[in-house]
Structure 1
């Protein structure tokens, strides 16, 4: 929607022509091109009470990246990632406004339960998307899986967030299901190289914090400091999904990951906040951070 920038009262819908777009989730922009980008999750009944396996199998969740004329408020193009790529969620465009590309995280594939990262980019006078990262599911005995995953015999990575450092060098991928945070060098966005990995929580692994603190949930929302040296992780996705994938209970926590500027990450042993029964979803850093800063000029 549009908000009045003095009163913050809604003034109406953003889109004057929504084209074929029906589902929505995240949005970002390429401000120099007057282009807005939006992703897709599902309708409220498809997520409010947890993930619906039948809808995933039927490929009913979102799998498009949509591009809009930001001035005219009209839909310009939908890029289909493939119906098997269910839940195209987080969008992270390059921060340098002269770089017309960005990254989209896809939660799960109906083909093999993998998660994936797509790069959107220009292809002539159109937009295109290329899969650049695929993260496999991990087989597991049904006896250690929550009921929602027992029929699958595996834990999908469940990519619930991605984040890009301000210098556009490192992309971080949180695998909420397997309990991993992965770091990729995306200096060449078409050819990412994995440069780091830590394990925290996870459906099966339940990796503890280095202090010995037990962890429920897994890396979920990711926030990067402006200097790129600190990455903050929280563990709660959405209360009904928390309960579905972590039925033994999910206690909120916040952890700090230290970053080597040359590549590599490690869990900081000194910083850990246990929120107990309160669930921690997302961090915003005072003065700005990598997922809320945007720039008009390079």
Structure 2
């Protein structure tokens, strides 16, 4: 029963009626802790990730649940045609809780990136000359030693990543530290930090948390106010315009975790912000004239999560 409870499968919907057809994967092929996926039909492959057992994550994060094996650390390789699981790549402790996974947009490419929440790492996955798949760590956001927080060490908690349509920039959000980062991935194995912007988070300089040691030697950021409103919570889900110039962000992760780490956001609601992107040299700048306040919804306050462009965006468009 334990294995069945922890298994995560994919539900297949009819493309016209949206009625449930059944499971996508073959019987017995479900992977543990099923979460995100991305496919590349040209190469007959789909990659999927792991989060955790619903009974563990539903009411907040308990580090002991990691030690108890209730959170994942693998990405899975699937045959797109037969729906058979071909490989499971264990990213180890450094790759614990791999969430969002992205192939490069170039349909000829056989590589991409996955953001791993617990240790603040990004892994590059790729097809080897032998035809199988492998992964390597290419980015690490170090944890900070703190006081006045739940634990003595605060991870960045990478929760969302995306890749610009031209495959030049990788973006991700550090939901606990409170920043969004932009990396130039022209060199696929050696990403270079090109932009960074704090928009809330848990280490604000007027809050209860004091940073004692920071391997990156960054000062604690001030609170951010847009259109007269102090931003509650922290950058979480991201979406990028097709031209790569406008990055949108919301602040809610999951209600159980929102309540635990950002209780003020439960009372005020989340927000959506817009960030102007320097696509020539890299760099991020907040648009001071744009703010969607979901605390003012008629039945709010609401916790906004996913973002989508009606005509396609950088996490929905896949080419053959």
* Same fold by TM-score greater than 0.5: yes
Aligned equivalent of 1:50, options 56, 60, 64 = 60
Please list every run of 5 or more consecutive structure 2 residues that lacks an aligned counterpart in the other structure: 1-10, 205-221, 296-300
Distance 1:6 1:281 in 2: 25
Shift of 1:5: 2.5
Distance 1:87 1:18 in 2: 23
Aligned to 1:166: 165
Between Structure 1 and Structure 2, the one with more helix by share is 2
Shift of 1:35: 0.5
Aligned to 2:317: 293
Distance 1:67 1:41 in 2: 16
Aligned to 1:127: 133
Aligned equivalent of 1:92, options 81, 85, 102 = 102
Distance 1:23 1:293 in 2: 25
Aligned to 1:220: 236
Whether 1:237 and 2:249 are equivalent positions in the alignment is: no
Q: In structure 2, the residue corresponding to 1:243 is in which secondary structure?
A: helix
Aligned equivalent of 1:3, options 13, 17, 25 = 13
Contact kept, 8 Å, 2:127 with 2:133, in 1: the verdict is yes
Distance 1:88 1:218 in 2: 19
Aligned to 2:271: 253
Shift of 1:2: 1.8
Aligned to 1:41: 51
Please list every run of 5 or more consecutive structure 1 residues that lacks an aligned counterpart in the other structure: 110-114
Tell me the TM-score normalised to structure 1 length.
0.91
Shift of 1:20: 7.2
Q: Sort the Cα spacing of 1:291 and 1:153 in 2 relative to 1 into closer, same or farther, 3 A.
A: same
Contact kept, 8 Å, 1:38 with 1:67, in 2: the verdict is yes
Aligned to 2:25: 15
Q: Indicate the RMSD between aligned Cα atoms, in angstroms.
A: 1.6
TM alignment of 1:62-211, pairs within 5 A: 62-109=72-119, 115-124=120-129, 125-142=131-148, 145=149, 150=150, 152-205=151-204, 207-211=223-227
Distance 1:40 1:165 in 2: 23
Q: In structure 1, the residue corresponding to 2:55 is in which secondary structure?
A: helix
Q: In structure 1, the residue corresponding to 2:35 is in which secondary structure?
A: coil
Aligned equivalent of 2:291, options 256, 266, 272 = 272
Contact kept, 8 Å, 2:105 with 2:319, in 1: the verdict is yes
Tell me the TM-score normalised to structure 2 length.
0.85
Q: Over residues 162-217 of structure 1, what are the superposed CA-to-partner deviations in whole Å (9 max), with x where a residue is unaligned?
A: 01100111100100101000000011111100000000010121621354521111
Distance 1:33 1:213 in 2: 47
Aligned to 1:112: none
